[in-house]
Structures are given as structure tokens and as C-alpha cells.
């Protein structure tokens, strides 16, 4: 994903009749391939070097060209046995891209004398992100009556380079009295930060407390150090991605409300769990 791809292929006239027009349609199946950055460019070489072609029509993810005149060489014809070379350049924006090509000749694109079809598939590298658990560390802990810091450690245990990375990472920490709990009532959280850089907790509920931190589009500089934790892996200018094997640490201040607790009352909020939200390289949301 995000790589610049160049494909070269040929068109050959295998018939006895020369043609002064060749029609070519390329269907990417996604309009993003016709949009900047990295929009598709097609060039032709009929023997005098590559020249850029101007699309005749674009619809959704499909683009059509008419090759004529100098596009077909100095004689303005594609004659028997003659081959012209096409060079296609674009940025890969979807996974497992299948491109459909239709080439035809004749006087009219709507009623060609003959057409042929081909397809090309871009096969992605192996790899997938994975999250299995959150580790934690207590910092400056004295007792439950004194606010303390909790460092939550979220690791991407996936593999596979860019395919195994997590993009637009979200960090979630919930719990309470049991597996179905959506939050805490005695514990509250404040001063969320990554590498000392503040980040908002978007969790809102009038009854419960929890952590829901969204890193997407927040940090335009590295919040936790080069090669550590969050990185800008997709080149969007924000440090909100997590490479395979990397761990991002979220530090929060925990305060326990003991004003409503009676003497020797047990604290039944020992259950907790961490979750991560993210996009994959194939733009799937997890």
C-alpha cells in the first residue's frame, strides 16, 4: 500500500488490416486511482519514445483513451505485426487490486471491429496486525487513597511490515465488576498522555469511567521517540500508527473515590480489559 507502481505492456496488430484508431479502457474499480496523489498516468511509445496520453473519458474508477495520429507512429497507423508499448504509472491505494483492460480497434469506440480483454492482479505481501492483551505498570503508587499513575502498554504482536501495521490507532481500557461492565464507578482517569504529550480521553458516560483514546490525526511530531511506539507509517503527517512488534504506552492518573466507601468495604472493581481499534493496510477497521 502506498507504493508507486509502474507497469509496461504491449499492443500488437496481428491482423492483415491496418487501423488508424485504437481504443483502450482501463478499469481500476476505484475512483481513487484517478485522483491525486499518485493518480494513474498512461504513456505510449510507438517507436519515438514515451509520450503522455490524455484521457478521452473518466467514469468512477474507469478511464478511456483513443490512440491515433502520432500515438501509432510516424505513419499514424497500427499495421500488421506492429507493436506499440504502453507504460502505466500509479500509486497503489487498495489491496489486491484487479485491473481490467479492454483494447479495441475500428472507427467507433461504441461499435469496434474487434476487442480483447485482459486483467492484472496486484498481490499483496503477507502479514497482519494482532492485539492480544494490555500490560500495565503502576507508577508512584502509595495506596488506593492516593492518586497514582497507571502505564498501559499496548503491543502490536502482528508481523509483515506495512501489512502487519496498525493505522489510526485507538486505545481503550474498560472494566468494573465483571466481563459485561462498560466502565468503573470508583476509579476515574485523568492526565492521559503518550510520552508526556497530552491526549484527550473521549469516553463520556454520566455513570461510568473508562478510557477511550483516539490517536488519529493528533500528533504531527513523534510523541514517544523515533522507532518507539507511534510512528507515521502511512505518510499522512500524523504519528498514529503502530508497527509490528512495537508497543505504545499510555500513561494516566488514577483516582479512587473512597468517600462513598464504608469501613473495610471490599472494592469490587478488579476486572479490567484493554482493547485496540485500528485500520489495517487494506483499510479494514478492527
Between CA 108 and CA 68 the distance in angstroms is: 12
In a domain, 147, yes or no: yes
Between CA 60 and CA 10 the distance in angstroms is: 25
Over its length of 286 residues, how does the chain's per-residue pLDDT go in tens digits? 678 999 999 999 998 889 999 999 999 999 999 999 899 999 999 988 999 999 999 999 999 999 999 999 999 999 999 999 999 999 998 888 999 999 999 888 888 989 999 999 998 888 999 999 899 999 989 988 899 999 999 999 999 888 999 999 999 999 877 767 778 888 899 999 999 999 999 999 988 999 999 999 999 999 999 989 999 998 899 999 999 999 999 999 999 887 766 555 555 666 788 999 999 988 766 6
Same domain, 26 and 149: no
DSSP 8-class letter at 19: B
Same domain, 117 and 139: no
Q: Is 228 exposed, middle or buried (0-12, 13-18, 19+ CB in 10 A)?
A: middle
What would the grid cell of residue 130 be? Answer: 494482532
Same domain, 99 and 176: no
Domain boundary among 121, 156, 176: 121
pLDDT at 175: 83
pLDDT at 285: 65
Same domain, 57 and 148: no
Same domain, 138 and 273: yes
For residue 235, what are the CA distances in angstroms to 2, 18, 168, 215, 217?
A: 9, 48, 12, 15, 12
pTM: 0.74
DSSP 8-class letter at 54: P
pLDDT at 108: 86
What would the grid cell of residue 31 be? Answer: 475512483
pLDDT at 180: 72
For residue 221, what are the CA distances in angstroms to 68, 148, 197, 236, 240?
A: 50, 28, 10, 12, 10
pLDDT at 22: 95
Range of the domain at 68: 4-121
CATH of the domain at 249: 2.60.40.1170
Same domain, 147 and 84: no
Q: Give Cβ neighbours of residue 220 (< 8 Å, ≥ 6 apart).
A: 237, 238, 239
The angle at the Cα of 214, spanning 212 to 217, to the nearest 5 degrees, equals 165
Q: Which residue has the cell 522507532?
A: 227
Q: What's the pLDDT tens digit per position in 161-205? A: 889 999 999 999 998 777 677 788 888 999 999 999 999 999 999
Same domain, 240 and 115: no
In a domain, 231, yes or no: yes
- How many structural domains compose the chain? 2
What would the grid cell of residue 208 be? Answer: 461510568
Q: Give Cβ neighbours of residue 217 (< 8 Å, ≥ 6 apart).
A: 168, 238, 240
Amino acid at each position: 500500500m502506498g507504493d508507486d507502481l509502474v507497469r509496461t505492456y504491449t499492443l500488437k496488430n496481428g491482423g492483415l488490416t491496418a487501423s488508424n484508431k485504437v481504443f483502450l479502457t482501463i478499469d481500476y474499480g476505484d475512483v481513487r486511482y484517478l485522483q491525486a496523489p499518485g493518480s494513474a498516468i498512461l504513456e505510449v511509445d510507438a517507436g519515438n519514445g514515451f509520450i503522455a496520453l490524455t484521457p478521452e473519458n473518466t467514469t468512477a474508477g474507469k478511464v478511456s483513451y483513443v490512440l491515433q495520429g502520432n500515438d501509432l507512429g510516424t505513419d499514424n497507423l497500427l499495421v500488421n505485426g506492429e507493436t506499440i508499448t504502453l507504460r502505466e504509472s500509479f500509486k497503489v491505494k487498495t489491496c489486491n487490486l484487479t485491473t481490467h483492460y479492454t483494447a479495441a480497434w475500428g472507427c467507433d469506440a461504441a461499435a469496434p471491429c474487434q476487442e480483447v480483454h485482459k486483467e492484472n492482479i496486484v498481490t499483496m505481501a503477507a502479514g497482519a496486525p494482532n492485539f492480544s492483551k494490555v500490560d500495565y505498570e503502576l507508577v508512584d503508587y502509595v495506596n488506593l487513597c492516593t492518586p497514582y499513575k497507571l502505564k498501559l502498554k499496548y503491543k502490536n504482536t502482528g508481523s509483515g511490515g506495512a501489512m502487519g501495521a496498525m493505522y489510526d490507532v485507538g486505545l481503550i481500557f474498560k472494566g468494573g465488576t465483571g466481563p459485561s461492565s462498560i466502565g468503573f464507578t470508583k476509579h476515574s482517569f485523568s492526565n492521559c498522555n503518550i510520552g508526556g504529550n497530552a491526549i484527550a480521553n473521549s469516553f463520556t458516560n454520566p455513570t461510568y469511567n473508562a478510557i477511550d483514546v483516539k490517536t488519529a490525526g493528533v500528533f504531527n511530531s513523534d510523541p514517544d521517540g523515533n522507532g518507539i511506539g507511534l510512528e507515521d507509517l502511512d505518510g499522512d503527517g500524523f504519528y498514529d500508527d503502530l508497527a509490528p512488534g512495537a508497543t505504545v504506552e499510555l500513561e494516566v492518573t488514577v483516582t479512587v473515590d473512597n468517600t462513598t466507601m464504608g469501613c473495610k468495604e471490599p472494592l469490587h472493581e478488579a476486572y479490567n480489559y484493554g482493547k485496540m481499534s485500528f485500520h489495517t493496510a487494506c483499510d479494514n477497521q478492527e
